[in-house]
Amino acid sequence: MRHESRLSSVLDGWTLQLRRAQWQVDGRGCRPEVVKLVADGLGLLVAGQDPAGAARLQGVSWNDYLRTSLRTSAAFGHVGHELQAEVVDGTAHLVALADRMPWTISRIHVDPKRGTLLGVTQDGVHRDDRPQIPASQLAWHAREREGIAWQGRSLLRASYPAWLLKREMLRTNSIAHRRWAAGIPVAQARPGSNPSPGQMAEAQRMASAARAGDVAGVAMPQDFELVIQGIAGQLPDTLGFIRFLNQEIAGAALMPHLDLGTSQSGSRALGESFIDSWTLALEAWATETADVATRQIAARIVEWNFGSDEPVPSVVVSGIGSRREVTSESLNSLLSSGALSADPALEAWIRREWRLPERDPDAPKPLNATGVDLAKPDSTADGEQGDDWGLLDDEAAVPVKAAQRSRRRSNPDQMSLFGDGHPVQAAARPETPEQIQAQWEAARAELLAAWPKTAAPLVTELAAQAETAVADGDLPRLGQLAASAGVIAAQAAMLGKGGTKLARQAAAGVVAEAAAHDVIVRAGDAGAAKVNATAEAVAHIIAAGYASGAGRIALQHAGADPESVRDAVERHLDALSTAQRGMVADQLGALLSAAQHAGRLSVLERAPKGTTFRASEWADEKRCDACDAVHGKTYRTLRAALIDYPASGYRNCEGGPGRCRGHIAADWTAKAR
């Protein structure tokens, strides 16, 4: 059966989708040395880590194991792999998963009371009641197992009646075409004639010898005529019946989309519904396969080396039935939203995948939007906008008076406001770039510490929605999970409070910078309204991320009971809440960067006319080439500076403006000079 054309395509459709999925080892909650040992043994990557470049020539090939286990268990219902280990320097390493094909298994041993698998016997001559291969040395896949029937159930079992009839119909149809596709020559005696036996024999010989051809012809005996006679009446529609049987085979395997385009009805929406149902079945089978690999392979590796009480890394799978092409538009959206950062690894991948040339380290720096060469840090931006921008005119500016006190510049060794070597010294300045960064990191740590408690109602709400959707059998609802307005408002209030606190600290720091140069300026509201609006937007973005994750995890566990689905969703969302890196941490960091920018801007907007501004990237320890080039650039007006620093960070930062720690600083001594 498995080699028949339609059934072979069914097996390929099921197995190839799972083989091209992303299989990884999830080591959360496990020690690094345990995770590495399991990942090396299975030949898998660790989730969140980049793949190694060198090929792995020894040990287990995960692709080969997956191909054998999926294809064989789909066709026969079960397949086994015997674990073989090798001890090196006191450590047991998995070196082989030797397949034990179903047709070589003579007996499956099962505990009659508990129904657990005890092992299998492969040798038919073996007479011992004990299994030849015990379960402790076996990874056993039993598809759709029922009770103690560890032989499983073949994917092709439901297609057997249709396959058997189709086989007979193909034979019948071939005979019909071979015998009756062309007309049969018939020698007929004319009415009233009485041919002799010799004439009958001659007529039979001539009719049998008749052939079609360009110069073919026939001469019949006297009183006979040759007639080419076809089939009279109608024959059964054998081909139509075969098409019906093909549809039955595809439907039995949840693959009716194979027949779209060959039938008289069908639509794209119908095809998507068919594929959705099939994808859910694929995900359930992949989850079952990953569970077998975790419990029967990864757990054995851990038990060999660390004992039975050591937490075991899980084998996880993702990306089933989907292929997301990375286009320039989608990549730009991910970078601009902060979901990705333009780090060197991402740039190298883009150049490799799109076959772009490698970066030339000697290439000149690009020009910015104002036409200024970013390679010259001391270049001045075009100031034709003038000093009469709304925030800097006489009516909007706060009256500033120079303090009648001596300038506090007695310590020439103190750090420059814009870095070593710049002529403007910030003597007696109460804050350094390191302190500005320390304030941001402290605020971020405080929000991350408070976030799990703040996110707890969100986790509970989404987990309950997922459980209800699975219990009701309404799987499309998993794509519509959403947090309530009250939960989002509570999160926005907490984020707004933390952001406003940092904005006030940033504003106070700018006031202190000005006072150190005998310029008096006040902070105003420290941009509280903008910070609170940003906090509300961030709360919505995080809630949407949680809802998407909850729906995805619930869909992967849709085959389990609703309570198990709820537990899986809660575990996943709790991991998001406690992670120190990732989506939540990035969004909180972007919020705090925006808060610092708003606080500083609330003071810079009130600077006296004639104040110039500079780009300062000293707070960013890992600044990119673009930020390094813009560092120290002079702007005649705040409006010109905001072109490069519109929100938080330099707009051309390779890591994304939301990750950049650069900011605008004022040259408060310009007015005094």
pLDDT of residue 298: 92
Closest of 624, 656, 663 to residue 641, by C-alpha? 663
Angle, alpha carbons 670-616-614 (nearest 5°): 30
pLDDT of residue 400: 31
Cα separation, 590 vs 600, whole angstroms: 16
Evaluate whether residue 296 is within a structural domain.
Answer: yes
pLDDT of residue 266: 53
Segment 35-50, tens digit of pLDDT: 989 988 888 888 877 5
227: exposed, middle or buried (Cβ count in 10 Å: 0-12, 13-18, 19+): exposed
pLDDT of residue 267: 53
Structural domain tally of the chain? 1
Flag whether pLDDT at 672 surpasses 60: no
User: Helix, strand or coil for residue 563?
Assistant: helix
Evaluate whether residue 184 is within a structural domain.
Answer: no
Task: Supply the mean pLDDT for the chain.
Answer: 76
Segment 612-628, tens digit of pLDDT: 888 887 666 667 888 88
Evaluate whether residue 418 is within a structural domain.
Answer: no
pLDDT of residue 426: 33
pLDDT of residue 542: 92
How confident is the model over 521-528, as a mean pLDDT?
72
Flag whether pLDDT at 135 surpasses 80: yes
φ/ψ bin of 82: left (φ > 0), alpha (ψ from -120 to 50), beta (otherwise): beta
Element (H, E) at 316: strand 314-318
Flag whether pLDDT at 294 surpasses 90: yes
Cα separation, 80 vs 629, whole angstroms: 61
Flag whether pLDDT at 475 surpasses 90: no
Evaluate whether residue 70 is within a structural domain.
Answer: yes
Evaluate whether residue 587 is within a structural domain.
Answer: no
Cα separation, 565 vs 159, whole angstroms: 32
CB 417 within 8 A of CB 612: no
Alpha carbon of residue 617 to chain centroid: 34
Evaluate whether residue 572 is within a structural domain.
Answer: no
Band (pLDDT 50/70/90 cuts) for residue 299 is: very high
The residue with tokens 């609802």 is 477
- As a three-state string, the secondary structure of 13-40 is HHHHHHHCCEEEEECCCCCHHHHHHHHH
Flag whether pLDDT at 524 surpasses 70: no
Report phi then psi at 581, rounded to 5.
Answer: -135, 160
**Token duo for residue 62:** 């995960």
pLDDT of residue 106: 87
Among the ranges given (56-60, 220-224, 446-450, 669-673), the one the predictor scored with the smallest mean pLDDT: 669-673
Flag whether pLDDT at 83 surpasses 50: yes
**Token duo for residue 396:** 């909007």
Cα radius of gyration rounded to whole Å, the chain = 38
Angle, alpha carbons 540-546-552 (nearest 5°): 135
pLDDT of residue 377: 38
pLDDT of residue 427: 32
Band (pLDDT 50/70/90 cuts) for residue 89 is: confident
Higher pLDDT, 633 or 123: 633
Band (pLDDT 50/70/90 cuts) for residue 367 is: very low
pLDDT of residue 523: 63
State the number of CA atoms in the 13 A half-sphere of 547 facing the CB.
18
Domain of residue 18, residue span: 1-156+253-322
Higher pLDDT, 205 or 396: 205
Long-range residue pairs from 242-251, CB within 8 A, at least 24 positions apart, any chain: 242/166, 242/169, 242/170, 242/173, 245/162, 245/163, 245/165, 245/166, 245/169, 246/6, 246/162, 246/166, 248/159, 248/162, 249/6, 249/7, 249/10, 249/159, 249/162, 249/163, 249/166, 250/6, 250/10
C-beta neighbour count of 190 within 10 angstroms: 10
How confident is the model over 106-129, as a mean pLDDT?
81
Band (pLDDT 50/70/90 cuts) for residue 240 is: confident
How confident is the model over 415-420, as a mean pLDDT?
34
Flag whether pLDDT at 366 surpasses 50: no
Evaluate whether residue 467 is within a structural domain.
Answer: no
Band (pLDDT 50/70/90 cuts) for residue 503 is: confident
pLDDT of residue 311: 92
Flag whether pLDDT at 272 surpasses 70: no
> How many angstroms separate the most distant Cα atoms in the chain?
146
Evaluate whether residue 581 is within a structural domain.
Answer: no
Band (pLDDT 50/70/90 cuts) for residue 312 is: very high
